[in-house]
Structure 1
């Protein structure tokens, strides 16, 4: 079925204010509630880091800062210009960019014979010459690496798989290549990019300049840990102009961080004293959060005149920077930045409500008549649950697939009741375990503290019986559906989604849906009167 974009937009607009169906719980089987939740498009979850990134962007823009994109690749010489004698210590923490060299591949008679053996045919003199020209063109950079296999396949009149085999077997130079480092580095501080940006525009645009950038930086840490990552986001801004002072940094930091719930601020000299800042201006920003107390969140200072002079920047510049991940840890009250940034690599807790939402019926009736049949089976079983056997009660009669069908709930044996003791057990999720429990004092804690799926064993079995009868009626057949002692979820027509079962198993929780159901439902197809 083709995806209808306009219908999606229409429903998304309708659901903006009402994300979920208003009525009976969406966990309740629809044929029990008698109503069907319409297909809904609920808002998806955002990543915590990108949530903070977006909030920072919006706050900076509201404060009158223009967004900039600074160079990500910085030459080693720029690090020396910016950091001076401190450059060597800084470079110890940067990633140098490297690449594979282009091999100088020679083609002697031995290589030609090996290629011919793989192709199963001899190469003409013209093909040999074009092969040499192609490999030479690759060495000189005229042919890109991702085009080489295609070009060689055209020259050799072979498929790509054969060419890949030739490169691996005949030319070990490709397989033995080792990367070589360049003098280019990945930006480890946003400052490295700000010097390059400001040098190009400070005397070409109206002052003061107010710019910000929220982007990636890379630092070659010895080891990643709860508070350090090798790839992180820096939220940085600069104010460049004739009258810029350190007070600008205080004002910007207060305005920026107020958007995240911080109420009071404290400024103190930073003992790290980076060389690209003017001595005595590097300042740590501590902010008071209503629930977390005082926390360090940012650093600002005035760029050193000597560092600015290296780039010909002739006005004072205030720079403020903060780590997005650090701010996200504070906002989300996380104690491990790795788990906050890469939750997919850490076991995630699943709430009881989420587990309950992942429990469904295995088989359900498809038609309106089938759903009414299931409701009739359930109502009849509840009404006559204690009736002694043998007994039989008509639960529903109507038309299915053009045939008149009568559905009977029955018990054929003596000294037994129509429904077993567990028929009205309800499925709850309590502390990660899935339990089928009766409404008794023994299970009061589970029923009060747990999350109900809204499904009883009787609900599920009625759905199973209606689905089987519905299917059999289409084939003109009668059917008898009987559920006796339940041991597994499938015994009572329940399915628990695989990811939830994995979670339950990994956390040593349990699924206990045992119980004596003993319910029998059969169908009778009435022959039309002549």
Structure 2
């Protein structure tokens, strides 16, 4: 049975939920006896570049282009064939592939003695012979570099750690190696791969040939910037056939951009005039960006007959290349392509609501009785918060963890109140700041514009008291929990996730949860 991509995604999602969302705390997803923390399914984020690539791919397929893969490694000689005399300047912007040479390692008597000293045993004539054979095989590329340590450990009959020490102390040639460049380059533009592909297929397939490829290119820029990266994705295509003209490029560019909802774009003659294009056919496509204005997102043109002749291609060819990252910048209204592509290296931007979602209780009861106890403590404190002290009010009477308890909210000192004035403060995030504010006119703006964490000081303290009482009850004891003046989050039983704290410090925001809470909760064993 065949499934559509959407059906495959739905099957995978449902299987994932079934496997990972069962069980209260830990699960055994494959029945192998291994336990893992339960992982709650959530809606995943798509990366802007990958999402833009996927959408471009679907557009190309929908307008009749076959998908292709073109060579990534381009020999220097092909750059000369495509660019002619201009190649020397072009090669300045490409990356050459290099590698470490394989040293010819000599093994004298001194080295053998040092190896035996490290091993604590004699190699013997047979061991020396096998060692030389292995190093010679490495030199001849019969043994790969990542297998050398393993092969030497077999020859020397020791573990890998000793082999690494021997290579470091006895054979400094390995450490002194420096890379040597080859004449192979990384593709700086898709055209290099298209010429090679066209030479192999133009007279073997029905015309016109319409193919596209969305893949990486590499360009040795002086530096990366808000609209420029050293590695980027090009959504490139070719149309090859007897009656192909530059108008095909305009039609393809318009189809791609209109599929993304863009109507505001322009075709401009490209003054760079690459040698592999016919003069006056090279055209730049610009789309409007809300910050950077008009941004070049694509270039198209007709390949030069002389460049095509280098590969034996005998029909006209139109080529178009569209920068995926630049299109994604416009689509996602990003100001910096570096941040759009690699957001992990930049401070993330969170809304107040997202920050509020990272504020929770540090301690909370784990049993049903403990949860009911916390609710009862909160209810009694709310009802009697303004009662003059000394005073005491029973909040809960029942069994917790096998222990009969009575729980009181009280204040022993005279001339005070059962609770402090900050007990009804609520936790809000407003403009990146975490604040504890009462429901008064003075803080109406914070409450109206900010995002509530859904936690009051009283709720947090009631849960703290219930958790501590629950813990004491498990030991068959009573306890007393008191919260006085709040200064820091932990004083009112609040936990702030690391990402929220990092955001606060990165942006020089503040956390202000100060206030007189003054709540005392006591549990006593019920002897009846």
> By the TM > 0.5 criterion, same fold?
yes
Q: Is the 8 A contact 1:386 1:417 kept in 2?
A: yes
Distance 1:484 1:266 in 2: 67
Deviation of residue 286 (structure 1)?
3.1
| Matched residue, 2:14 | 9
Q: Is the 8 A contact 2:356 2:452 kept in 1?
A: yes
Cα 1:246–1:181 change in 2 (3 A) is same
The one-character-per-residue Cα deviations of 1:161-193 (angstroms, maximum 9, x if unpaired) are: 111111111112111111111110000010001
Q: Which moved more, 1:319-328 or 1:393-402?
A: 393-402
| Matched residue, 1:256 | 256
The answer to whether structure 1 residue 522 and structure 2 residue 527 are counterparts is no
Distance 2:290 2:107 in 1: 73
Deviation of residue 378 (structure 1)?
0.7
| Matched residue, 1:297 | 297
| Matched residue, 1:101 | 101
Q: Which moved more, 1:499-508 or 1:426-435?
A: 499-508
| Matched residue, 1:28 | none
Distance 2:460 2:149 in 1: 59
Deviation of residue 106 (structure 1)?
1.2
| Matched residue, 1:365 | 365
Cα 1:145–1:430 change in 2 (3 A) is same
Deviation of residue 145 (structure 1)?
0.8
Deviation of residue 330 (structure 1)?
1.6
Cα 1:460–1:273 change in 2 (3 A) is same
RMSD: 2.1
Q: Is the 8 A contact 1:427 1:434 kept in 2?
A: yes
Matched residue SS, 2:347: coil
Structure 1: 5+ residue stretches without partners: 14-37
| Matched residue, 2:334 | 334
Q: Is the 8 A contact 2:284 2:300 kept in 1?
A: yes
| Matched residue, 2:49 | 49
| Aligned positions of 1:179-190 closer than 5 A | 179-190=179-190
Q: Is the 8 A contact 1:261 1:289 kept in 2?
A: no
| Aligned positions of 1:59-78 closer than 5 A | 59-78=59-78
| Matched residue, 1:346 | 346
Matched residue SS, 1:480: strand
Q: Is the 8 A contact 1:263 1:289 kept in 2?
A: no
Distance 1:297 1:180 in 2: 36
Matched residue SS, 1:423: helix
Distance 2:438 2:254 in 1: 58
Deviation of residue 256 (structure 1)?
0.6
Deviation of residue 356 (structure 1)?
0.8
Higher relative contact order (CA 8 A, sep 6+): 1
Cα 1:7–1:309 change in 2 (3 A) is closer
| Matched residue, 2:155 | 155
| Aligned positions of 1:233-252 closer than 5 A | 233-252=233-252
The one-character-per-residue Cα deviations of 1:204-247 (angstroms, maximum 9, x if unpaired) are: 22221111111110011112222221111111011111211111
Distance 2:12 2:224 in 1: 46
The one-character-per-residue Cα deviations of 1:280-310 (angstroms, maximum 9, x if unpaired) are: 2111223467998754321111111111111
How many pairs are equivalent? 500
| Aligned positions of 1:166-315 closer than 5 A | 166-287=166-287, 295-315=295-315
Q: Is the 8 A contact 1:263 1:290 kept in 2?
A: no
Matched residue SS, 1:80: helix
Q: Is the 8 A contact 2:238 2:318 kept in 1?
A: yes
| Matched residue, 2:3 | none
| Aligned positions of 1:341-420 closer than 5 A | 341-420=341-420
Deviation of residue 517 (structure 1)?
1.0
Matched residue SS, 1:102: coil
Structure 2: 5+ residue stretches without partners: 1-9, 19-37
Q: Is the 8 A contact 2:460 2:493 kept in 1?
A: yes
